[in-house]
Amino acid sequence: MNQYAPENIRNVVLLSHNGAGKTSISEAALFDSGAINRLGRVENGTTTSDYDEAEAKHNISINLSVLPCEWTGTKINIIDTPGYSDFIAEVKAGMRVCESAVIVISAASGIEVGTQQRWDDCEVTGLPRFLFVNKMDRENVDFIRTVNELQEKFGIHCVPIQLPIGSQASFRGVVDLLTMKSYSGTEGTEGDVPEDMQDQVETYREKLIEAAAEFDDTLLEKYLGGEDLSMEELNNGLRQSVAAGKVVPILAGSGTKNIGIRQLLDAIKVYLPSPVDCEVTTITKSDEQEMVKPGTDSPLAALVFKTTADPYVGKLTYFRVYNGVFKSNSQVYNSNRQESERIGQIFTLRGKTQEPATEIPAGDIGGVAKLSVTSTGDTLCTQDKSVKLAPITFPNPVFSQAVYPKTKADLDKLGPALARLVEEEPTMHVRRETETGETILSGMGETQLDVAAEEIQRKFGVNILLETPKVPYRETITSTVQAEYKHKKQTGGHGQYGHVLLRLEPLPSGSGTEFVDEVVGGRIPRNYIPAVEKGVNEALHEGVMARFPATDIRIAVYDGSFHPVDSSEICFKIAGSGAFKKGMSDANPILLEPIMNVTITVPEDYTGDIIGDLNTKRAQLQGMNPSNGMNVIQAQAPLAEIQRYAIDLKSITQGKGTFTMEFSHYQPMPLTNSQKVVAARQAEKES
């Protein structure tokens, strides 16, 4: 592929709700530009973008794909992202390294949850964008109805720059409202505006010209004065308005029929910003922010936005160059890790194919294999001009499952496989839950973790089971008791003797445990007290109700006795443990359960359903804060009731709700619930 100057590059991320047709559009764009010689189909798993086995199996995009194509002297890097919300990390990464976006809307479905969410993301980041109304060949579609819906939802600055010719089965092309030409069929054959569309075209052209002129006072004055604006003036005005977010053009087409895609590529080239139109924010060694105009003459600054683990190639790193030139067979400096990286052969990427390159200039995207310390979000630069680029902000995981290996062989390979998995997927975390002894894998939803399990098996040959994690309950006491335990054995020769009296007192919630020595008069020699404490600490790890760790207890050793010959540290350790267990059994023990702080953000219409559902989960409402049609609900709920809340919330709100949760405290569990837990625990131990 030819090299392009930054001003002749467009980095565009495709965004949408799941199933709106991004992958079909990107496939058609590659075909029309000559990057591929046959059109693949999503349902057949033959598209350039969805090359992963899991994507073909599930018929959805799971990973972002970099899909460069050359179009009339411009290189357009299309980044196709997943529409399914579980794979939001890929969306965030794609948005971070692009100067603009195309939000795809299915004409058959209209504005869906994902459409709104991606629009909001673009608003937050200030990303210039197009709206592309896809699937104009489907039944029951109406372009004007969709335009009205978009303007009602997102604002009147969303204006069509094209109108479709026909619709449903008769959809055959588009009319460009600026050139006043029609473009028909897959080849985009140029023609005149159809007679029956003249009035409609004139009406929408006037609105477009007004929108294009509004940003420039000179153009506006000319327009209001009744003068005609030249095509160059209109293009420049519209380009400036789009870059400033004052106008969001609406286009139409069909990805699967490959109609309107050439005109989309033309519009991307003409109206969307290039890398040189957007200054780069860098952070210097002294933590000062500096705005830099991108260019190939500046020192290198590249951001790593994706890492994949390939069982054959090893680690593959995707990077976007913001400044300077990234060269093959060179050395770069990772400013985040403060370590140098040796660069071998670099590539330009198109789906799964890698084309060797000697260098990647500012504004462009490339890949490199086998970096040792670099991961997603790191900046690669020169050591003498070390800078950092703002990293990608990823959401925290909201759904967790316990990971169990199927066989002993799988157990040995599980740790390294999970480590490589989470390195590849920034929204997935893995941790060891010490209290339950489980390995916990956390992510954005059930689908993401199911796909991860398949990936671990396919890439690393590790078979795993995913189960709902055990809840880390704890036990405590509710009354003060005294307990005595005497360990005495005589088996010939030296015997065993240890005698301990303990007092157990409940402590306030969250206090932990406290061991106190109150022995006087040498009833227990000083050198045996640590052994008593050790025995108590071991017993604390397994309570008496269901063998959960005990907490919030003050344990005082206040008396006992010893034998000058038969006593030993092990005897007092056994006596300490025995006295604690006996005392805890007599002190009215109860189960404690972890309580989580939950913050739920949902459209106001769903507030009643959410509160009703929370009531069934033994949750306590803490407050509500309405804002811009959304309601932020704060509650506290037992972890046992909300471990699968990501699934419940998605079901209740059709995917429109989000939530976060964090640990708050432990509190006593209701008797009926604790009895079930104890019974289940006993059955588990017996089995």
d(CA 539, CA 89): 44
Q: How far apart are CA 295 and CA 119, in angstroms?
A: 30
DSSP 22: H
Q: Would the pLDDT of 215 be above 90? A: no
User: Do 262 and 307 sit in the same domain of this protein?
Assistant: no
Other Cβ atoms closer than 10 A to 661: 20
Total number of residues shown for the chain: 687
pLDDT for position 685: 78
Indicate the pairing of strand 9-16 with strand 74-80.
parallel
642: in domain: yes
Residues 582 and 670 in one domain: no
How far apart, in Å, are the Cα atoms of 103 and each of 33, 121, 248, 683? 21, 11, 10, 53
Quick one: tokens of 472?
Answer: 């880390």
Contact 623, 516 (CB under 8 A): no
Closest CA to 583 of 524, 502, 670: 502
Report yes or no on 624 lying in a domain. Answer: yes
Token couple for 678: 């104890």
How high is the pLDDT of residue 573?
A: 96
Last residue in a domain, options 364, 389, 414: 389
Rounded to an integer, what distance in angstroms lies between the CA atom of residue 341 and that of residue 320?
16
416, 309 Cβ separation under 8 angstroms:
no
Count of other CB atoms within 10 angstroms of residue 311: 10
Q: Are residues 87 and 105 in the same domain?
A: yes
Cα(77)–Cα(88) distance, integer angstroms = 20
Alpha helix ranges (H) inside 132-225: 143-154, 198-214, 217-224
Of 121, 51, 49, residue with least CA distance to 78: 49
Tokens of residue 8, six digits: 């002749």
* The token pair that represents 239 in the structure block: 């380009």
Q: Are residues 107 and 129 in the same domain?
A: yes
Distances (CA, A) of 160 to 17, 118, 148, 175: 21, 19, 10, 10
Q: Which CATH number is 407's domain given?
A: 3.30.70.870
For residues 475 and 548, is the Cβ–Cβ distance under 8 A? yes
Is 201 a member of any domain?
no
Give dist(CA 612, CA 75) in Å, integer: 53
pLDDT in tens, 242-283: 999 999 999 999 999 999 999 999 999 999 999 999 888 888
Share of the chain above pLDDT 90, in %: 75
Domain hosting 350: range is 280-389
Number of H helices, E strands in the chain: 17, 37
**Among 318, 317, 394, 292, CA closest to 97:** 318
Please say if the pLDDT value at position 50 is more than 90: no
What does the alpha-carbon distance between residue 371 and residue 314 come to, in Å, rounded to a whole number? 9
Q: Average pLDDT for residues 53-82, to the nearest whole number?
A: 91
Q: Decide if 413 is inside a domain.
A: yes
Can you give the pTM of this predicted structure? 0.87
Question: Residue 54 sits in a domain of what CATH number?
Answer: 3.40.50.300
CA gap 436, 496 in Å, rounded:
34
Query: CA distances (Å), 101 to each of 120, 244, 272, in order?
Result: 12, 13, 9
Residues 126, 16 share a domain: yes
231: in domain: no
Cα–Cα distance for residue pair 9/627, rounded to 1 Å: 39
Specify the number of domains making up the chain: 5
Shared domain for 295 and 374, answered yes or no, is: yes
Which residues is 489 bridged to in the sheet?
496
For 371-395, write each residue's pLDDT tens digit: 999 999 999 999 998 999 988 999 9
Domain identity same for 485 and 579? yes
Residue type present at position 307? T
Sign (positive or negative) of CA dihedral 40, 45, 49, 51: negative
**Can you tell me whether residue 593 is helix, strand or coil?**
strand
pLDDT exceeds cutoff 70 at 345: yes
Task: Please name which of 118, 119, 130 lies closest in space to residue 161, comparing C-alpha atoms.
Answer: 130
What confidence score (pLDDT) does residue 45 get?
82
The proportion of the chain whose per-residue pLDDT surpasses 70, expressed as a percent, equals 99
Give the per-residue pLDDT at 74: 97
303-319 residue pLDDT tens: 999 998 776 667 899 99
Q: Are residues 46 and 107 in the same domain?
A: yes
Residue 129 pLDDT: 97
Average pLDDT over residues 327-338: 94
Average pLDDT, the chain: 92
Residues 146 and 95 in one domain: yes
For the segment 438-495, what is each residue's pLDDT rounded down to a tens digit? 999 999 999 999 999 998 998 889 999 999 999 999 999 999 999 999 999 877 667 8
User: Once rounded to an integer, what is the mean pLDDT over residues 547-564?
Assistant: 95
Q: Which two tokens stand for residue 583?
A: 């005392």
Q: In terms of domains, do 169 and 187 share one?
A: yes
Helix, strand, or coil (residue 503): strand
β-strand pairing of 189-191 with 129-134: unpaired
CA-CA distances (angstroms) from residue 370 to 22, 310, 318, 564? 31, 10, 11, 67
Residue ranges in 347-445 assigned as alpha helix (H): 408-424
Tell me whether residue 206 is in a domain.
no
Is residue 56 scored above 80 in pLDDT?
no
Both 600 and 575 in one domain: the answer is: no
Instruction: Please give the Cα distance from 42 to 24 (Å, whole number).
Output: 7
H-run or E-run covering 601: strand 590-603
Which pLDDT score, from 0 to 100, does residue 435 have? 84
Q: For residue 501, is it within any domain?
A: yes
Q: What is the CA radius of gyration of the chain?
A: 32
Say if residues 427 and 88 touch (Cβ distance below 8 Å). yes
Which of 555, 588, 621 finishes a domain?
588
Instruction: Return d(Cα 591, Cα 678) in angstroms, integer.
Output: 9
- The residue assigned the tokens 């050395």 is 331
Whole-number Å distance between alpha carbons of 550 and 541 = 6
3-state secondary structure 78-132: EEECCCCHHHHHHHHHHHHCCCEEEEEEECCCECCHHHHHHHHHHHHHCCCEEEE
User: Are 351 and 425 within one domain?
Assistant: no
Give strand pairing partners of 100.
Answer: 12
Q: What is the dihedral of CA 226, 228, 234, 240, to 10 degrees?
A: -30
Q: What is the Cα–Cα distance from 57 to 399, expressed in whole angstroms?
A: 23
User: Which H or E element spans position 642?
Assistant: helix 639-642
With tokens 């169990």, the residue in question is: 404
Q: Helices marked H in 155-300 — which ranges?
A: 198-214, 217-224, 231-243, 261-271
pLDDT score of 544 more than 80: yes
Find residue 379's DSSP bridge partners. Answer: 303
Res 311: pLDDT: 65
Is residue 470 helix, strand or coil? coil
- What stretch of H or E contains 640? helix 639-642
Domain stop point among 417, 448, 467: 467
Q: CATH number of the domain at 346, please.
A: 2.40.30.10
Give residue 271's pLDDT: 96
Give φ, ψ of 464 to 5 degrees: -130, 160
Mean pLDDT within 401-423: 91
Matching residue, tokens 């047709």:
21
The reported pLDDT for the residue numbered 217 is 75
Sign of the Cα pseudo-torsion (444, 447, 448, 453, in order): positive
pLDDT class for 327, splitting at 50, 70, 90? very high
Nearest CA to 519 out of 488, 470, 551, 556 is that of 556
Does residue 202 belong to any structural domain of this protein?
Answer: no
**What would the pLDDT profile of 495-536 be if each residue is shown by its tens digit?**
899 999 999 999 999 999 999 999 988 899 999 999 999 999
Cβ–Cβ under 8 Å, residues 440 and 402 = yes
